Amino acid sequence: MKLVSDYFGCMVFNDEVMQKRLSPEVYATLKRTMEHGRSLNLSVANAVASAMKDWAVEMGATHYTHWFQPMTGITAEKHDSFISPDHGGKVIMEFSGKELVRGETDASSFPSGGLRATFEARGYTAWDATSYAFIKDGVLCIPTAFCSYGGEALDKKTPLLRSMEAINRQALRVLKLFGNEEVTSAKTTVGPEQEYFLVDKETFRRRKDLMYTGRTLFGAKPPKGQEVEGHYYGVIKPRVQAFMKDLDEELWKLGVLAKTEHNEAAPSQHELAPIFATTNIAADHNQLTMEIMQKIAKKHDFICLLHEKPFAGVNGSGKHNNWSISTSTGVNLLEPGETPYENAQFLLFLCAVIKAVDDYQDLLRISVASAGNDHRLGAHEAPPAVVSIFLGDELTEILQSIEKDEAYGAKEKELLRVGVHTMPKFPKDTTDRNRTSPFAFTGNKFEFRMLGSSASISDANTVINTAVAEVLRQFADELEVATDFESALHDLIKKTFTAHKRIIFNGNGYDDKWIAEAEKRGLSNLRSTPDALAHYLDEKNIALFTAHKVYTEKEMQSRLEITLKNYADLIAIEARTMVDMAKKDILPAVSEYTQTLCNTISAKRAVNEKLSCAYEEESLEKISALVQKAYAEVKKLERELARAEKITDVSALAMHFKNKVLATMEKLRKAVDETETLVCADYWPFPTYGELLFEVRE
Ligand code: ADP
Ligand code: MG
């Protein structure tokens, strides 16, 4: 039997391989680069490239690629082989430091939102030495950032790395004030829990909507829904089990710390959770996980659906982004400590996150905005689009005691003062979990739960990192000039909590009453992608990103444009798919069925004028009315699509898609879904929800 410990990371050019294959000097320089982000000189790069190539060739690789994450949200790769001509028509395998460190790529087919003028079609990719190279399908993949020649970010990795630098800078200032002289860096960590659906490959192929858009655009509710919550953590079917086993193995070979696999709440829905890693590595690994999931699923005759809402009326899929920050000395800054000193520091970082989430609610909402995720957030059956924090009763009480200058808990006599000597020990109870909160403190980390299942985690983490960096900057500015550190610290925590406690909500986040309450508190509720994106370029948001050098204003404009365009494009594809399905499959099938009904009625009448035709006649009447309604909506949808072609402003275009196209799509769906419940199953041209969700082969 193969032991996991023997093959874990076998496809990764990791620390162990580097130590073995690089000279001590080269290894030491490379490590310094990885830890402090220094640039490599060419001779070191050459040595690393050569060792990497030898290793990759021994592992059977023939090609290499600069693996990057353009703004399409998925990864891109262009394969180059290692071969280089040698004497006498032979080849040798070559790979230089220059090729490792920097690649050139024709960037013109990737979205740039106007950043790259058409005459400057080339972009370049640069090695992110902090993320290990790996071999996938015989190709050495080098994780890289992707920029235009002017240095503007054209990808999701570059801003994420910049945001990690920003929070590192500011966290170090704060840590210094607490006397942490030995800390050299502070890095954010993330464990993204990934939800997905598995459907049968054969059934999937018979659904045009799933094939073209990743979600069902039609489909009546099955007789059994999600009411009986038998699936959550339920027994995993053998075929799914085999898939999960294969998936784990493949991910482990790539060094991805896949940890837990279980069934989710909805039928056919599952989750994979990894062990957390430094944020940019977690982001790379999550991209890999999504890719490998889809590949392994096919091997098992499944299709893995990563869409946020593949089925109406059934739970959607998200990605829970567990986020924390820890020091080079191994201290998790969001973990309550043992001593008053550690707890004071913990409370300050906790307050920094609270303030950051309150100040930049809109950006957090924007960071998860997409056409797919809109079906999860703010819809009637999903968490609301309001951002709030769950802290738990105990922490909330501690902060309230500080705010009100009161004693905390029944046993404490003294007033609660934050300081190096006077903090009480915190109860470390993490059992009080609230599953309905979009941003929950879970004992030693925050779990941001609004991310869509198909999204790159980079956008959300870029926002969290930068927003917290900004608050830490303000905190450091204030504390650095204080004459009495302890009382300044106490006042700062008190002031911050008082000003931002409106963002804390420990109750049921799915309750309608909360939406009303949130509105009273002045929290924003940005229901759709176009509504949310309208705030992206608000002055305070531009100020945030430019001050911390995460985005230039131009980069922000380009990202906005791409996101809006992408939103419109996706809905356009959905709308066209609906028109196609309705006109070519559904309406003709229903016509045929109504013909059968008519024939039956005439046949019956021919036998006996008095025979009852109640079923046939009533069905005929209802179906005919619904079909005419559906047909009218199809025509309306075609008109709205034609109108969209004439809209040049991208914000107006996105709004048109939301208000007109999506709204018409919903009406069309309603008419068709009702028809489905009346038409003989043999005539219905597409597999039903029942087949998709419940009839998965064992
Ligand atoms: P659950 O939330 O399902 O009860 P856990 O609390 O064990 O499970 O962890 C959920 C996820 O949070 C895992 O991916 C785990 O690796 C991650 N996680 C744990 N600690 C941290 C941390 N300090 N930073 C980031 N993620 C973390
Ligand atoms: Mg969780």
Instruction: Tell me the pLDDT tens digit for each residue of 292-332.
Output: 999 999 999 999 999 999 999 888 999 999 999 999 999 99
Query: Residue holding tokens 């109870």?
Result: 429
Cα distance between residue 591 and residue 100, in whole Å: 61
| Ion ligand 2 nearby residues (CB, 5 A) | 320
pLDDT tens track for 367-403: 999 999 999 987 655 678 999 999 988 889 889 988 9
C-beta of 332 in contact with ligand 1 (< 6 A): yes
Q: Which ligand places an atom closest to the C-alpha of 191?
A: 1
pLDDT category, 287, cuts 50, 70, 90? very high
Give the distance, in angstroms, between the CA of residue 245 and the centroid of all CA atoms in the same chain.
Answer: 24
Q: How far is the CA of 565 from the centre of ligand 2 (A)?
A: 32
State the residue for tokens 């008109």.
Answer: 639
Q: Say which residue the tokens 């969700």 belong to.
A: 693
Q: Which ligand is nearest to the CA of 431?
A: 1
Nearest residue to 146 (alpha-carbon basis) of 178, 108, 182, 184? 108
Phi-psi region of 429 (alpha: psi -120 to 50; beta: other; left: phi over 0): beta
How many Cβ atoms from other residues are within 10 Å of residue 5's Cβ? 8
CB crowding 56-75: b at 16 or more within 10 Å, else e: beeeebebbbbbbbbbebeb
- Residue 206's pLDDT band, with cuts at 50, 70 and 90, is very high
- For residues 579-585, give the mean pLDDT: 98
* Average pLDDT for 449-459: 96
pLDDT attached to residue 230: 60
Ligand 1 pocket, mutate which of 445, 446, 457 (most atoms under 8 A from CB): 445
Q: Does residue 278's CB lie within 6 angstroms of at least one atom of ligand 1?
A: no
Residue 406: band (very low, low, confident or very high) from pLDDT cuts 50, 70, 90: confident
Task: Note the pLDDT of residue 429.
Answer: 57
Ligand 1 in contact with 62 (CB < 6 A)?
no
Within 10 angstroms of residue 586's Cβ, the number of other Cβ atoms is 25
Q: What per-residue confidence (pLDDT) applies to 117?
A: 54
What average pLDDT is seen over the chain? 91
Indicate the Cα dihedral angle 383, 285, 69, 650, nearest 10°.
0
Give bridge partners of residue 192 from the DSSP assignment: 321
258 lines ligand 1 (CB under 6 A): no
> How many angstroms does the Cα of residue 663 sit away from the middle of ligand 1?
39
Reported as a single tens digit per residue, the pLDDT across 247-271 is 999 999 999 999 988 887 778 899 9
Ligand 1: atom nearest CA of 323 is 25
Ligand index nearest the alpha carbon of residue 274 = 1
Q: Is 235 in the pocket of ligand 1 (CB under 6 A)?
A: no
Q: Name the percent of the chain lying above pLDDT 70.
A: 92
Per-residue pLDDT tens digits for 159-175 = 999 999 999 999 999 99
Lowest mean pLDDT among 74-78, 452-456, 529-533, 605-609: 74-78
Residues 602, 657: contact at Cβ < 8 Å?
Answer: no
Spatial separation of the C-alpha atoms in residues 31 and 188, rounded to whole Å: 19
What size, in residues, is the chain?
698
Per-residue pLDDT at 119: 46
Over range 196-202, report the average pLDDT: 95
Of 409, 408, 391, 374, the closest CA to residue 445 belongs to 391
- Is the CB of residue 273 below 6 angstroms from any atom belonging to ligand 1? yes
Q: Around 80, how many Cα atoms within 13 Å sit in the side-chain half-sphere?
A: 16
C-alpha span between 91 and 367 (Å, rounded):
48
Ligand 1 centroid to residue 276 C-alpha, Å: 6
Q: Is 494 in the pocket of ligand 1 (CB under 6 A)?
A: no
pLDDT digit string (tens) for 226-239? 655 566 666 778 89
**Residue indicated by tokens 């009986």:** 228
d(CA 451, CA 63): 34
Tell me the one-letter amino acid at 604: K
**Rounded distance between C-alpha atoms, residue 290 and residue 294, angstroms:** 6
659 within 8 A of 572, measured Cβ to Cβ:
no
The finding on whether 276 has its CB within 6 A of some atom of ligand 1 is: yes
**The CA-based dihedral angle spanning residues 10, 13, 19, 20, taken in that order and rounded to the nearest 10 degrees:** 60
8-state DSSP, 678: T
Atom 2 of ligand 1, nearest CA residue: 442
Domains of the chain from N-terminus onward? 4-154 (3.10.20.70), 164-217+229-551 (3.30.590.10), 566-694 (1.20.120.1560)
**pLDDT at 90 (0 to 100):** 86
Per-residue model confidence (pLDDT) at position 41: 84
Paired sense of beta strands 122-127 and 102-106, if any: antiparallel
In this prediction, residue 118 carries a pLDDT of: 45
Percent of the chain having pLDDT more than 90? 72
| DSSP per-residue letters across 205-216 | HT-HHHHHHSS-
Q: Do residues 593 and 680 touch, judged by C-beta distance below 8 A?
A: yes
Instruction: Lowest mean pLDDT of 49-53, 77-81, 291-295, name the range.
Output: 77-81
Q: Does any ligand 1 atom lie closer than 6 A to the CB of residue 275?
A: yes
Please, which residues bridge with residue 135 across strands?
140
Whether residue 324 has its Cβ less than 6 Å from ligand 1? yes
- Burial (Cβ within 10 Å: 0-12, 13-18, ≥19) of residue 15: middle
Query: Is 145 near ligand 1, meaning CB less than 6 Å away?
Result: no
| C-beta of residue 440 within 8 angstroms of C-beta of residue 350 | no
Ligand 2 centre from 318 Cα, in Å?
A: 11
Q: What is the DSSP string of 533-567?
A: HTTTT-HHHHHHHHHTTS--HHHHHHHHHHHHHHH
CA 194/CA 556 separation, integer angstroms:
28
Counting DSSP H helices and E strands in the chain, the numbers are: 25, 17
* Cα of 336 from ligand 1 centre, angstroms: 16
Q: What is the mean pLDDT of the segment spanning 14-23?
A: 95
- Which atom of ligand 1 is closest in space to residue 275's alpha carbon? 16
